[in-house]
Structure formats: C-alpha cells, structure tokens
Amino acid sequence: MEFYQLGYFLEIARQRSFTRAAGRLHMAQPALSQQMKNLEAELGTPLFIRGRKETQLTAAGKAFLPRAEALLSQAEAAKTVVSDVAQLRGGKLVIAAIPSVCACLLPEVIRNFSKRHERVALQLIEDSSERVADCVESGLADIGFLQLPASKSAFSSQTVLSEPFVLLAGKAHALARQKEAALKQLAAESFIFYKGRARDTALESCRKAGFEPRIVCESGELETVRALVASGLGLAIVPRLAAGNLPSSIRAVPLREPRMQRQIAAIWPKNGRLSPAAEALLKLTGEQLSQSASV
C-alpha cells in the first residue's frame, strides 16, 4: 500500500466519481482505475460501488475511509516535523561539553543560536572529555566538545581551538605581579588541580619540570577552583579558556616553560553526519572564536 494510493482513494470518495477525481488529480482515468484495482487487490475486497452516474463506497470502503485519512494526516505531520528540523524551525539539539567550554565558550554561542533558531530546543550536558565521548558515541548527544585526543575510529572531529595553559594566582600572591612564570620555579608551591584531561596535562608538565606537585585540593568545578585560588589556598594550572572573565581577586600569569598546549575539538559519530542544528552551532562556535581572537 502506497501513500499516493490513499490520496487517490480519498479524492474519489470526495468526488464520488472516478472521472472528476482523475481531473482533480491531473491523471488519466484508466491509470486511476488501475491504481484502485491494485489497492483493492491488496486489501482483498472492493472499496467502491461503481455506478453509471455516481461512485459509492462499499461497507469496507466506509470503514477504510477514516483510517486512510488518519494515515495521510500522520504522514503529512511526519513530513512537517522532518522539514522543521531540516530548516531549523523545530527539533532538539543535545550538546555535551567539558566544563571550561560550557562556562567560557558556549554561553555566547548558545545565546546567538537561540536568537536565530528560537524554536530549536537545546540541552547541555557538562562532563569530562571521556564522558562527552560516551554521550556522543551512545547517541545521547548530537555533538560534543572535548579535549583531544579522541578515537579516530569512533568519531569525526574538527579542531575548534588550540590554546596554552596559564597559571592562576590570588592577587596577594607574589606571582600575581609577574608578567610570566617558569613552571620549574614553582616546586615549593601548593596547587589546586582542575580535574579531567587538563589535570593530566598539568601533572605531566610539572613532572617534566622536575618536581611532583603538592596537590592540596582537586575539583572538577571551575568556579570552585577559582574560589580556592582566590582564598590563597594555592595556585592552579588551567587552560587559557578557563581563565576568561576572572574576578579581580585572581590573576592569570602566562607560563613560559614548559610550553603547555591543548586542543579542543567538536566530535560526532564517524559514520553519521551532523544534524542541521549541530552544523549551525559549530559554525557559530567558529564565528565566536574568530571574534574573540580579533578583540
């Protein structure tokens, strides 16, 4: 049974005539009659009583009529939903991202996205790079933003940002007055570590600089790390993105040695393609980063 056959059936029922229905459908009457014979054969019963002046529905045809109308209505509704998603007039976009991206990059991106595509519902999942990858791989999220590396066999990816790490110090700390710092000079300092892959990068860099950092606290919450630094508990080594919009109680000091860098990428399933909404979000992310770099 084809949807176009249902449409033919409904037009004949409305017109009560194969001839008038064929005219309305802009097709030859023999072709229309053949399509109805095919439909009746598939259903196993006649749908029409073909009179000389008027065509009537059989009992089976009368029973079939509301169901055919419902099926076509559902099909049209499905087309509308798909069209709305494709044209960004509806649907839902689920984004998974690491905390620094959620806090310091996506708010402006999401604001601009919502202004342009207000009918698309947005959901944000904030978690570690590993969890972001899991969300995208399982289909829970449509697009993810994480710190590389990511599995090349599982995901397609696009690098959106390469950034250095910086040192966060409370304004009362002597380092807050320096233009830059070398990591090897900080062996005697206390550290607050920012959990996730950023932690792994910071720990490895400290060891390369010749010391094991004295970690007094760890947190996966960026605002908690900042608050602890502001309180004077210790220093924090964080990506530059996580040092945006700092309160006056904290200073960000560039690190001279060793050079610490990370890459942030957008990921999506390897064998899939980005939805129109995800494509639009990724484009806006690039625009936001370009605008920030030019300021």
pLDDT on residue 41? 93
Report, at the CATH architecture level, how domain 3-86 is classified: Orthogonal Bundle (1.10)
Angle value at C-alpha 287, between 283 and 289, nearest 5 degrees:
115
pLDDT in tens, 95-139: 999 988 998 899 999 999 999 998 899 999 999 999 999 999 999
Strand partners, 252: 168
Q: How large is the average pLDDT for residues 256-285?
A: 89
Asked whether this chain's domains 92-160+263-294 and 164-261 adopt the same fold, the reply is yes
Domain ranges of the chain: 3-86, 92-160+263-294, 164-261
CATH code that applies to domain 164-261: 3.40.190.10
Rounded distance between C-alpha atoms, residue 110 and residue 127, angstroms: 17
pLDDT at residue 153 above 90? no
pLDDT on residue 84? 66
Report, at the CATH architecture level, how domain 92-160+263-294 is classified: 3-Layer(aba) Sandwich (3.40)
Rounded distance between C-alpha atoms, residue 174 and residue 154, angstroms: 46
Mean predicted lDDT score pLDDT of the chain: 90
pLDDT in tens, 176-187: 999 999 999 999
pLDDT in tens, 75-93: 887 776 677 667 787 888 9
What is the reported pTM?
Answer: 0.71
Q: Which positions ≥6 away from 195 have C-beta within 8 Å?
A: 128, 218, 219, 220
Residue 26 is classified by DSSP as T
Q: Which positions ≥6 away from 7 have C-beta within 8 Å?
A: 25, 72
Q: Give the residue, 149 or 258, on which the prediction is more confident.
A: 149
* Angle formed by the axes of helices 18-25 and 3-15, nearest 10°: 130
